[in-house]
């Protein structure tokens, strides 16, 4: 980003997801008496903060949230909500007045991953894995029958101790 012939490197890269929100940070100790100007890479006003009052740009109405309780702490961060693919790009926070501060962010937007619908387990798919289901049932039945017989004959002492 270039302002008045000065080049400023990108501070942070942020990734957002379509339909969700991101917070763009802008913190500076000497904020009192200064103005804060948030701009996108097209020069559009995202938000201006003057004397504790935030004015959101027309392109961002209803999608920018400010944190007025944090201004006294030097925090002029904003939350960009309901992200759109077109929101990808650079965002800058410029603090002007008796002192100056500048921060820039590169925002990339990715599509929301498709949510797969939960599927109910199918008993038929389990049965299909056993090629010889009737034999498995009979085997289990005979094992139980054998254990019962051994129990009755007092021969399970070795098995169950």
- Is the model's pTM score more than 0.75? no
Q: Rounded to whole angstroms, how far apart are CA atoms 108 and 14?
A: 6
Dihedrals phi, psi of 119, to nearest 5 degrees: -110, 145
Q: Name the nearest CA neighbour of 32 among 44, 6, 50.
A: 50
Q: Which residues contact 66 (CB under 8 A, 6 or more apart)?
A: 47, 49, 54, 56, 76, 78, 79
127 token code pair: 């049965």
Count of CB atoms situated within 10 Å of the CB of 109 = 20
The pLDDT tens digits along the chain (161 residues) read 444 444 444 568 889 999 999 999 888 776 666 789 999 999 999 999 988 889 999 999 999 999 988 888 888 899 999 999 999 999 999 888 776 778 888 999 999 887 766 655 444 444 444 444 455 454 555 555 555 555 555 554 444 44
């Amino acid at each position: 980003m270039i302002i008045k012939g000065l080049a400023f490197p990108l501070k942070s890269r942020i990734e957002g997801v379509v339909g969700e929100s991101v917070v763009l940070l802008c913190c500076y100790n000497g904020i009192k008496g200064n103005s804060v100007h948030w701009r996108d890479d097209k020069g559009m006003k995202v938000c201006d903060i003057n004397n504790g009052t935030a004015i959101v740009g027309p392109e961002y109405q209803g999608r920018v949230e400010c944190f007025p309780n944090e201004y006294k702490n030097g925090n002029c961060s904003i939350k960009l909500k309901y992200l759109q693919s077109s929101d990808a790009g650079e965002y800058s926070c410029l603090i002007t007045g008796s002192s100056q501060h500048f921060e820039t962010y590169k925002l990339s937007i990715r599509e929301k991953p498709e949510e797969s619908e939960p599927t109910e387990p199918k008993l038929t798919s389990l049965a299909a894995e056993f090629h010889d289901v009737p034999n498995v049932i009979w085997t289990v039945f005979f094992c139980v029958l054998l254990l019962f017989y051994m129990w009755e004959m007092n021969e399970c002492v070795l098995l169950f101790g």
